[in-house]
Amino acid sequence: NGITLERVREYVWEIPREGDMRVPARVLASEALLEEIKEDKTLEQIKNTTHLPGITNHAICMPDGHQGYGFPVGGVGALDAENGCISPGAVGYDINCGVRMMRTNLTYDDLKGHEEELVDSLFANIPSGLGGGGVVEAGVDTVDEILARGVDWALENGYAVEDDLLHCEDEGMREGAAPEKISQKAKDRGKNQIGSLGSGNHFLEVQRVTDVFDDAVGEAFGLEEDQIVVLIHCGSRGLGHQTCNDYLRKIEQQHQGLLNQLPDKELAAAPAGSQLAEDYYGAMNAAINFAWVNRQLIMHRTREVFEGVFDRSWEDMEMDLLYDVAHNIAKKETHTVDGEERELYVHRKGATRAFPAGHPDVPKAYRDVGQPIIIPGSMGAGSYVLRGGENSLDLTFGSTAHGAGRLMSRTQAKNEYWGGDVQQELEEQDQIYVKAQSGATVAEEAPGVYKDVDEVVRVSDELGIGDKVARTFPVCNIKG
């Protein structure tokens, strides 16, 4: 594809600056992952990103990077918050798509024999799929409150305990949320989806811990081998999607000048300091709160399902939130650049915050070991828990990968796989129980459509941006 790529050192590749690029682009990958990254438009997209005003140091592609809308999934771009810009496409359509992991004190032995009952009950009780319906049915007034207050709303209404807030990025409430900057249409889409998984790539997975690589950090995170944990992956549903769409249109209308300078319209950005940049930031922060409440309500319902299946209270099963972390966001953060403190809009799209030990934004319980990072693999492979590595602030503005990353498109996946066969194979070969709204979803999300999560995590660990703590393996999985 004619893109020059130079090796900086092991796992670090650079597209050198040329033409209108403002900074070089970097790709963090092993040779094997790089070959996969070269298969689609990822390199072209990360290169295009370097044209955004205010981009600082490098545009960075994570080891799980693949092609996305304008900005690659697995991309990090830190744009100056005074002289740069903010880009909805570099946050992603699913604002605050993210993951949370809940611990339990159950072991795999406690669960054996209950898998089918558990997966059926989760599927019956947790709203999923394209259609409407959520854990909470409410009006736009409630949506407004959720947008403004995040998980604090859930606490007040009995869907959360104090401890849940303490173990969530931003304590489950993003400052600077502006519900009035979210359109009526977006709120109308949101009101029937409060506490719902959605479809496709979103899932709830019961897993068992198979390996703890770092005993001290594992202990701080409350993880041990054979323990049952629950992983929840979803975002802000139609509300976030509509918001992204609304602001992309507004940028096209109001900031054609900047748009015309960019090599790809999908990178549309609002200049820092403009009214539209402020409006989008406020709306995005509100949608972020909506997504946190979404995952909180699903976790709350999961606790109830476990209570029904195991006939014990969730407190007795110690079903505590390990951590909730976003992987589609932008945040105004202060970073040291060339010895100077700078305010940057750090865009992480398909990238996870990975703050090291000692960082003030790491919850107190984990301050000494680093922020938990949750990296799902696939419904047939493992997933990982990492901790923020000591090189992350220098190399990636405190970020790492967010998953294994897709190898093929959904259309291609449907040609390669048949949902029913995938489901049967998982159950017979690996005792993994999957239930989905449609067979097509299972085919689109077959383990073979994803890259090798072990390799992605190995690169993160070797670079010291996110260090391996534990690995999990699926037991039951529900999908939209």
Q: How far is CA 412 from the centre of its chain?
A: 23
From candidates 402, 414, 468, 471, binder to ligand 5GP by CB under 6 A: 402
3-state secondary structure of 100: strand
Residues 358-387 that bind ligand 5GP (CB under 6 A): 376-379, 383
Residues 213-272 that bind Mn ion (CB under 5 A): 235
Q: What string marks each residue from 157 to 196 as x (binds ligand 5GP by CB under 6 A) or -?
A: ----------------------------------------
- Those residues whose C-beta lies under 8 Å from the C-beta of residue 475, and which sit 6 or more positions away, are 108, 111, 115, 205, 206, 207, 208, 228, 431, 432, 433
What single string gives the DSSP state of each residue in 266-333?
GG--EETTSHHHHHHHHHHHHHHHHHHHHHHHHHHHHHHHHHHHHSS-TTTTT--EEEEEESEEEEEE
404 sits near ligand 5GP (criterion: CB under 6 A): yes
Size of the site for Mn ion (CB under 5 A): 3
- Whether 44 contacts 74, CB under 8 Å: no
Choose among Mn ion, ligand 5GP, none what residue 203 binds, the Cβ cut-off being 5 to 8 Å by kind: ligand 5GP
Tell me how far apart the alpha carbons of residues 194 and 473 are, in angstroms, rounded to a whole number: 29
Least CB distance to ligand 5GP at residue 189 (A): 19
- Whether 356 contacts 398, CB under 8 Å: yes
Nearer to ligand 5GP by Cβ, of 136 and 456: the residue is 456
Which H or E element spans position 342?
strand 340-349
The 3-class secondary structure across 167-234, one letter per residue, is CEHHHHCCCCCCHHHCCHHHHHHHHCCECCCCCCCCEEEEEEEEEECCHHHHHHHCCCCCEEEEEEEE
From candidates 57, 142, 201, 400, binder to ligand 5GP by CB under 6 A: 201
Residue (of 202, 209, 197) closest to 102 by Cα position: 209
Which among 139-147, 200-208, 264-272, 301-309 is the span making contact with ligand 5GP, rule CB under 6 A?
200-208
203 sits near ligand 5GP (criterion: CB under 6 A): yes
Residue nearest to ligand 5GP (CB): 403
Instruction: Say whether 402 is catalytic.
Output: yes
How many residues comprise the chain? Answer: 480
Tokens of 325: 């972390």
Choose among Mn ion, ligand 5GP, none what residue 404 binds, the Cβ cut-off being 5 to 8 Å by kind: ligand 5GP
Tell me how far apart the alpha carbons of residues 98 and 139 are, in angstroms, rounded to a whole number: 25
Find where tokens 């039951």 sit: 476
Nearer to ligand 5GP by Cβ, of 46 and 73: the residue is 73
Choose among ligand 5GP, Mn ion, none what residue 372 binds, the Cβ cut-off being 5 to 8 Å by kind: none
Nearer to ligand 5GP by Cβ, of 136 and 413: the residue is 413
Nearer to ligand 5GP by Cβ, of 116 and 368: the residue is 116
Nearer to ligand 5GP by Cβ, of 214 and 445: the residue is 445
Residues 204-223 that bind ligand 5GP (CB under 6 A): 205
Q: What string marks each residue from 84 to 113 as x (binds ligand 5GP by CB under 6 A) or -?
A: -------------x----------------
3-state secondary structure of 11: coil
Q: Given the rule CB under 6 A, which residues bind ligand 5GP? A: 64, 73, 97, 201, 203, 205, 350, 376-379, 383, 402-405, 445, 450, 453, 474, 477
Catalytic residues: 402
